[in-house]
């Protein structure tokens, strides 16, 4: 009888110690941000510490965004720059055609415009209530300089890669706590009405990597 009671006490203490050990590990993980997975000593038994990113001190500049377009009038201003007619100069005088898809369907203006951008109508992007603006799928009107919001609502994977620096090109610093960054807007590389790249043949052979010392010093 005494032997059974001793064995029960022993196993009870062992189970209690196990629970206390697990609780201690979880408490440490919660306070230090260290999480361990896998069995002890196994390949997955790796500590992954969550380290907060440095506070950004510099900004990102996006280049290539266009302002509201206009139609050349054939005139120039006092600085010799072409005078453009605002889109609303003509569009405000007539009702918007909600079915037009390409320039060939028009009888005046834009006839030579090449459009190869899915099966979208012009008003899928242009605001029929004010052609000096664009329009999101939600109906919200936005300025042409904010057109990145328009592109990303359909081109999600490309925008995801763009946000991570794998699409669109970038110069400057990855770490904005060290220096500024310059990114390309979609329109710096793509035509808004025919965004797919045309097939081309490479001309210049790839250049060799610079010396290691230069790569290590580059931000």
Q: SS3 string of 99-152? A: CCCCHHHCCCCCCCCCCCECECCHHHCECCCCCCCEECCCCCEECHHHCHHHHH
Q: With contact defined as beta carbons under 8 Å apart, do 86 and 70 qualify?
A: yes
| pLDDT, position 65 | 84
* pTM for this predicted structure: 0.62
pLDDT at 44 over 80: no
Give CA torsion, residues 106, 122, 188, 142, to 10 deg: 130
Closest CA to 183 of 200, 166, 206: 166
Kindly state the DSSP code that residue 186 receives in the 8-state scheme: G
SS3 96: coil
SS3 167: coil
Q: For 47-85, write each residue's pLDDT tens digit.
A: 455 556 667 789 999 998 888 888 888 899 999 988 888
For residue 186, the tally of other CB atoms under 10 A from its CB is 23
């Amino acid at each position: 009888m005494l032997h059974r009671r001793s064995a029960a006490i022993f196993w009870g203490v062992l189970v209690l110690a196990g629970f206390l050990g697990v609780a201690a590990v979880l408490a440490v993980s919660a306070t230090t941000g260290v999480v361990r997975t896998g069995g002890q000593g196994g390949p997955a038994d790796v500590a992954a510490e969550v380290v907060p990113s440095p506070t950004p001190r510099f900004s990102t500049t996006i280049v290539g965004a266009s302002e509201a377009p206009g139609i050349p009038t054939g005139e120039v201003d006092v600085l010799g720059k072409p005078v453009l007619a605002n889109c609303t100069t003509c569009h405000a005088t007539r009702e918007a055609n909600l079915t037009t898809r390409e320039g060939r369907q028009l009888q005046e203006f834009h006839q030579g415009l090449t459009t190869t951008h899915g099966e979208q109508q012009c008003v899928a992007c242009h605001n029929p209530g004010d052609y000096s603006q664009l329009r999101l799928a939600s109906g919200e009107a936005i300025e042409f300089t904010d057109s990145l919001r328009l592109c990303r609502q359909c081109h999600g994977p490309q925008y995801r890669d763009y946000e991570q620096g794998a699409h669109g090109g970038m110069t400057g610093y990855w770490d904005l706590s060290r220096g500024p960054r310059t990114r390309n807007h979609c329109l710096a590389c793509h035509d808004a009405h025919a965004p797919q790249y045309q097939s081309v043949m490479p001309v210049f052979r790839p250049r060799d990597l610079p010396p290691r010392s230069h790569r290590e010093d580059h931000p």
